Structure 1
Amino acid sequence: MSAQTTFRYHRYHYLVGQFVSMQVAAVTGLVSLGYLAFGGYLLSRYEGIGVRSLSLFLGLWGGNFLSAAVVIFAFSSFGITNGAQLTQLGSQVPPTLQPLLISVDFLAGLFTVSGIFVWLWFVLQYTQRIGRREKIAIGGLGGGTFLISAANGLTGAAAAFGVIALQPTFRTSIHQFATVFEVLGTSVAIGVGIALLYTTATRHHPFRGRSVIGLSLAVVFPWLVGYLYQFGLVTEFASVSALRASALTLGLGGLWLTVTRDDLFEQLPASRTIGRKTAFDASDTAIVVVNNAGNVSDLNSAAQALFGAAELDSIGAPLDSLLPETVDGDALRQAEPITFELPAGNTVVEAAMTTATDDSGQVIGETIVFTDITDERRRQQRIQVLNRVLRHNLRNDLNIAQGYVDVMLDIDDGVEQYQDKIDAIFENLVTMGDKAQRTETVLAANPLSTDSTALSELIDNAIDSIDADIDSIPTTVTVPDGMAVRINPVVLQSIIEELLSNAVRHSGCSEITISYDAEETTLVVADDGSGLPSHEIAVLDNAEETDLEHGSGLGLWLIKWGTDSFGGTATFDTDATGTRVRVEIPPDLVEEPSPT
């Protein structure tokens, strides 16, 4: 074969290779445009979780391979049809086009990394597995991979144009390190995404296994083809473009079928998780989730409010850090629910723990439901007290009255003294009835008020409502002028009336003092009488009455219940010098007098 024939033969193959490379690159570009068009279609056609992130992935993925196709088409048009020929870049490509081609190639590399991590973001959104930790992980791994890839591309571009001079071995080392890091970062992202999709398919039955394949094909095969070229396994541009076009076509077809045939955005596995999460967060019942180590994994807003704890401070902390010091976390693991009272306020809580397991039945922690049973306990307490009053006090008084009547029937003289005793019993029963009615009025009233009432006015009205017995007892009132409270006057005035009535009628006191402790927002009523019996105070402290331990009437309960209703506390201190009752008022219900 002559030299001329040989030249023509090689020239023919060169032109054919150049033509094929350009045509296949053009096909790759068209398929890439299909990704861009499909992304726009999703945005216009669908709404909901994952639509925007999948559309962004399609945009980046299509832009990535469209840019690569443009570069290969341009290189091929200048006769560069093989990666090994890139060393001829400076001699065969006009200088005016070199920066454009290098920058497009650089952007394609960044699109690859960005597209893969946006795809992972879509998977996390779609399966509703994205939280604060996942966002940090994606930001760290994705951001690090993106920066290293960008630095590698910029270094290569600068070296190619002679902006910087690098030793070949050093340049090779940088490129190898960046490539390995990029491969590891993107492979982790793809692996995690596929694993999440597979797990979701096994648990969420409308989401099928073929949907996993469809979502995975779009990213896996094009990603693998890219590294076939990058590692020098395939260097002919025509072959690279053909593999890319095939992989992209397969991926686009899989995505299309997954979205349209399998109703990707109608089945939404996230809806199940979101529904549970929404119910968890919106529940009025406090719920705390702990892991096997006894540390808090999650808690809803009701639990945060109940224990006065912030979410960030609680997650990861031991369960015992939430509970009162009197409650041991191990005690919650009993078969029966336990009850305890929170130290701040009069809140009574019932705690019930259930074991949490995964799909294989392995124990992964516990869920504890804390139910506020304060109102229920108060209702039980009121029923208990009223039952005792009707059953015990009323029955005893009537039995005594019946006894006096029997005596009066058997005697002729001295009837008047028994008549007086019967009158006193009936008067006491009428007083008890009035007190029961007043207690019912206090409990039925809204304890809070939008309007403020002067505390001194409530005290004066309470004093005026007590009969003339109080006129014989010196009463000292030291309450700052202008001090007001946003408490229903019916509630607080009834409490003050009962405190004064108890001091006047039952303690035998010779002096009463009413004062206000501004520092502790507390009203103090003190007398120098005989003091309350210890068993009466014990009944209030234990918050219940029994057949062996009960109070003598409704008065002290009216004070306690009324104070509890507006969030205050009533404490009784009695000794040989008398009785001091402190009614603590929540500071947010107090209006201090304006300074003069």
Structure 2
Amino acid sequence: MVGAADVVGVGLASVAIPAFALIAGASKHRSKPGVRGFVVAVVGIGCWSLASGLRALVGDPGVQFVSVVGQLTAVNVTILGWALLVAEFVRRRRIGLWSKPVAAALVIPACTVALAVTSPWHHLVYTSGTVVTAAGFRQFGLGPWYPIHVVYVLSLSIGAAVVLFRELPGSSGFHRRQVTLLFLGWLVGTLGTFDFFLKNVGPWPFAPYVDITPVGFLVGSAVWGLALFRHDLFELVPVGRQTAVETMPDAVLTADVEGRIVDANPAARSLLATDPIRKPVSAVFADYPRLLEHYRDCEERTTDVQILDEGTVRHFSATTTPIVERGQRTGTVIVLRDVSALKRREQELDRHRQVYNRIVRHNLRNELTVIRGNAEEIARRGDGQLTEFAETIRDRSDELIETSEKARRIMRIIEADSHLLTVEGRTLVDGIAAEMREQYPSASIETSGPAEAWVSAHEDLEVAVGNLVENAIVHNEGTPNVEIAVARTGETVELTVTDDGPGIPEHEISVLDRLTETALEHSNGAGLWLVNWIVTKSDGDLDFAVTDRGTTVTVTLQAATVGGDDVTESQELAH
């Protein structure tokens, strides 16, 4: 007749089947870091379940002793496998099994197994067994060495879990899911160990031959298997990312801490016309000392290099990026991006700029000066309508000369690196107002605001505000009324120019918003473009509000703190 112990025994023994199936599934990943630990742990779980099943099925005293020793041995194998799995996962490399740390970790398990086998002579691990079921199941007493075994197993198991848990704060995305699954698998298996304490310390609701610990660890190993097969555990780079690197046009090389190339994508191999693997970085890039200098600095740096490829000089932007894991540099990634087309475009733009500057600065200005001089001579000698025509030519010439000067200034501002100064806003607007009153005595110009308002702005801020004020005056057909206000709002300062003129046309403002012009929609002058670029280079904002009563232009700038050197510099700018 089949009893409950037989059913439990067969059930526990059958746990080995899915365990060994997991081992078979892991075989294709055997070369990857951590898989050895996974296999060792699952082998331990399978043997643990077989020993537990055999102990429940066969009541012979000899078989009972062999089974309990087998359980003890399997426990040690399982926990050692778990520790090896975590160590290789955290270090991202396979660990030498013949190393001193591994030998030290095996001392206590080896002593435990040896003492368990020889327990009938000294009773250090197990004492005599007591039959507790009719089928002959024996409950063995625990000797003085057994607590040492328990403390060691728990310390190694929890210690590995702590090492793994410490990976969570510095992980994200894919790696975080890996760590979480590993930790969850350990937690599920560890919960199964409570049956040992309940059997020996507290009430245990099941028969003494029921051992659920290997079942718990089997579930835990299934979670590890889920990570292994579904989330590609132990892969340093997901398949999609690896495919991107392999197919991207940029040359990508990876060097280890010893300065040897350990990986190169097809683009790198094609560019270098050789296989750089296992070659020193210093040899591969011997002709590029600047790149090697950046590589040795162990910092993320970018430099330009020129490589002769089949008789053609190609320009590359070379970036060196250290690989840092847990605060230690483990390698360097070198990326060579082909910027030849960009360099050609820059050269074309530079030639266009030179032509433009020559035309605007010399040809156009010189010709306009000649035209203006002749117009003045005609106006001086002529009379009546002829004089009016000459004055119109002269005025238009002056406007074109002024526009060319603004265009040259715009080019200078765009090309130059931004250098922000600390400027006192109220002093600046008061100076502009005084200059405009002298230049346009019929205009009414008022200023308002606090006594001081320091801002961080481009060195040509005075030019921008002056242009806004001048535009407000010259485009007003009546008597211009202009107010320049300074106001501080939190961490910004607003400079507003308000007039009662006809307002700025909407298409002029929309052109500035898009920063482009079309044949049908374009700005009539360079003044607003100049203002816009100065404000942009000041890291500020430019806003227009047009109503029936006039226009309000607001320049919003970052408020600045005042230091001794900045005060001197800004006062010189304001005056």
* TM-score with structure 2 setting the length: 0.49
Structure with more helix by fraction: 1
* TM-score with structure 1 setting the length: 0.48
